[in-house]
Structures are given as C-alpha cells and as structure tokens.
C-alpha cells in the first residue's frame, strides 16, 4: 500500500473518531435529565419530552422513580437536572441548603380527599386512620383543611404515610379509612367502589399548589439557554394539555384503564403554570400554619421566573 493511500485511510479513521466523540459530547450536552413519578401530576413533563427535541434539539431523558424519597435523593445530589416533585419537599430541600429553584407549577388542583363509603362528613373522620404520601405535601395540608371543616385536628385521627400505589388497596381492605394523594390513585379508589370523594382540592383551598417543576442551580447556571428553552417548552406543553391530549399522554406512560384516567383528568388542569407570588405566599402561610415548616424559603429565594 503506497504512502498516499495509507495517509488517506488514517485521516478518514481519525475524522470518524472525532465526529463520533463530538456527536457523543453534543448528545450528552443537549440532554436534560428530569426525575418524575408515574402520576398524572407530572403529565406536562411527559408531554414536553417529545416536543422539545423536535423544536430545540434538546433531548429530555425522563428518569422514573417509585417513591418521593428516592426522587429527592437524586435531585438533592445533582444526579438529575430537575424534577417534577411535591413542592413542599423541594421547599424543604431548599431550606436545608440544596441548590434548586422552582420554575413552574406542575398543575392546578387535581387532588381529592377519598374516604370509605360509610364516612359522610369531616366529623366522621374522628378516630379514623387517614393516609398521606408524605408529611411535606399539599395532601397533608388538604387533610388539615378537611379536619378543620369538622372542628377536628390531626390529634383527633391516626395519620399514616403510605406509598401512593398502596392507598387504594389499603382503603379496600379496611386498613385505612381515607387518603389524599396524587392522581390517578384517588380515581382508582373511586373506580373500584372502595371509596368516594369527600372533597376536591378546590373546595378546600382555592388555587392550591401541589407539584412543581424544579431545576438545579448548576443546570440553570451552566446551561442557562437550555434551562430557559426547557422551561418555556414545559409551560407551552401545559397549555396544550387538553383532556384528550392528557389522556393520550397518560396512556403512553401509565398502566391505567380509560375509566380511571377519565375520572382523574376531570379534577386537574395544566394551563398557566407560572408560579405567582400570591399563590406561593398562600402556600407558605399554610405550610407554617400546619407545622410543615417554621421557615419556608421566600418567593425571591426559591422561585425563578426571570430567565
């Protein structure tokens, strides 16, 4: 083989190696890792994932978790760039020094208080066992608001923490008498006939905040344009999530039947996902009132709307 041909082959191999390496670096750079739980409250993230790559070339790598503690561990240790998460959990992390910012709501409303069929009022919960997914949750706040309607407090009932997936079956077996949790698990309790809706979230707390989209400070600071594109695309995805689109997206990611999804999606909306100062301050008032935190982060410290 003459020297000229050998030089051309060598150059081609080197060029291919460089292109492969550059392509890999670009792929890694352009991807965004977002943690989520398989709940209808995370639908805006799931809807956005496919659209963002088409529009901006940014690949969303969805990282599914089975519990809030597992998700929080990944978020707090920077193993992901952001998460769809219970906002009170994110507030607690921020309070403890974790570098994260809330950039949008997860949804509006979308929670229900489910009780066994023999309970007809908040007063009937006295002495009963009620499940929430985590103490740091809007579901805990909604429980407190429910009890207040019956002149009760959490001292008058037994409060237990259960994984969302366990709640419908726990109600059906009589292990618990009621629960409040992210959807579609409330709808599951209704569809099986084990329980009924005592209150919807809007009856207890107008314009309630539950889940939020949070991004790590490192992602925002090191990839500001990607963070901006991601947040804008996320809000646009929420605005496009009508009931039919939401149902189609949910069926891709959740193993739920049509009846459960249709019931669940009656209670939730995804438009206008910006976190306003008024709604956030209403949340912090309730967080302090019901003992979730004495010193939640201020709006200016925790919420970012100014990309």
> What average pLDDT does range 258-282 have in this prediction?
93
Q: What is the residue extent of each domain of the chain?
A: 31-109+208-302, 112-204
**Does the pLDDT value for residue 283 go beyond 70?**
yes
> What average pLDDT does range 191-214 have in this prediction?
95
Give the pLDDT confidence score for residue 26 in this predicted structure: 41
3-state helix, strand and coil shares in percent for the chain, rounded to the nearest 5:
50, 20, 30
> What average pLDDT does range 109-114 have in this prediction?
96
Per residue in 58-108, pLDDT tens?
899 999 998 899 999 999 999 999 999 999 999 999 999 999 999 999 999
Give the pLDDT confidence score for residue 29 in this predicted structure: 54
φ, ψ of residue 79 to 5 degrees: the values are -80, -15
**Does the pLDDT value for residue 14 go beyond 60?**
no
Of 114, 105, 110, 106, nearest to 305 by C-alpha is 105
- CATH class of residue range 112-204: alpha beta
* Confidence at 280, pLDDT banded by 50, 70, 90: very high
Per residue in 112-161, pLDDT tens?
999 999 999 999 999 999 999 999 999 999 999 999 999 999 999 999 99
Give the pLDDT confidence score for residue 129 in this predicted structure: 98
- CATH class of residue range 31-109+208-302: alpha beta
Of 65, 93, 102, 301, nearest to 213 by C-alpha is 102
Can you say whether the dihedral through the CA atoms of 236, 238, 243, 248 is positive or negative?
positive
> What average pLDDT does range 8-35 have in this prediction?
52
* Confidence at 256, pLDDT banded by 50, 70, 90: confident
Taking the model in full, what pTM does it have? 0.87
**Does the pLDDT value for residue 6 go beyond 60?**
no
Per residue in 152-177, pLDDT tens?
999 999 999 998 999 999 999 999 99
Rounded distance between C-alpha atoms, residue 180 and residue 142, angstroms: 8
Are both 31-109+208-302 and 112-204 of the same fold? yes
Average pLDDT, the chain: 89
């Amino acid at each position: 083989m003459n020297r000229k041909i050998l030089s051309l082959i060598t150059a081609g191999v080197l060029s291919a190696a460089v292109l492969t390496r550059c392509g890999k670096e670009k792929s890694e750079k352009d991807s965004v890792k977002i943690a989520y739980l398989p709940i209808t409250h995370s639908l805006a993230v799931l809807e956005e994932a496919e659209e963002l790559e088409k529009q901006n070339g940014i690949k969303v790598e969805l990282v599914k978790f089975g519990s809030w503690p597992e998700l929080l561990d990944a978020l707090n240790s920077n193993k992901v760039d952001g998460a769809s998460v219970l906002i009170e959990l994110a507030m607690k992390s921020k309070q403890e020094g974790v570098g994260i910012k809330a950039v949008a709501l997860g949804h509006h409303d979308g929670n229900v208080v489910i009780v066994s069929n023999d309970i007809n009022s908040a007063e009937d919960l006295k002495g009963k066992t009620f499940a929430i997914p985590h103490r740091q949750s809007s579901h805990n706040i909604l429980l407190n608001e429910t009890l207040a309607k019956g002149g009760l407090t959490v001292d008058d009932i037994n409060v237990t923490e259960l994984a969302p997936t366990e709640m419908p079956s726990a109600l059906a077996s009589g292990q618990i008498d009621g629960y409040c949790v992210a959807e579609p698990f409330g709808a599951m309790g209704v569809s099986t006939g084990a329980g009924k809706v005592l209150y919807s979230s809007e009856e207890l707390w107008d314009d309630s905040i539950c889940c939020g989209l949070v991004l790590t400070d490192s992602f925002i600071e090191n990839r500001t344009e990607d963070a901006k594109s991601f947040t804008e695309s996320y809000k646009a995805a929420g605005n496009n999530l009508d009931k039919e689109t939401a149902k189609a997206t949910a069926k891709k990611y959740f193993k739920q039947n049509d009846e459960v999804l249709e019931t669940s999606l009656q209670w939730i909306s995804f438009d206008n996902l910006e976190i306003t100062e008024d709604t956030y301050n209403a949340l912090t008032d309730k967080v302090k009132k019901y003992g979730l935190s004495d010193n939640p982060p201020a709006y200016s410290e925790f919420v970012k709307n100014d990309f």
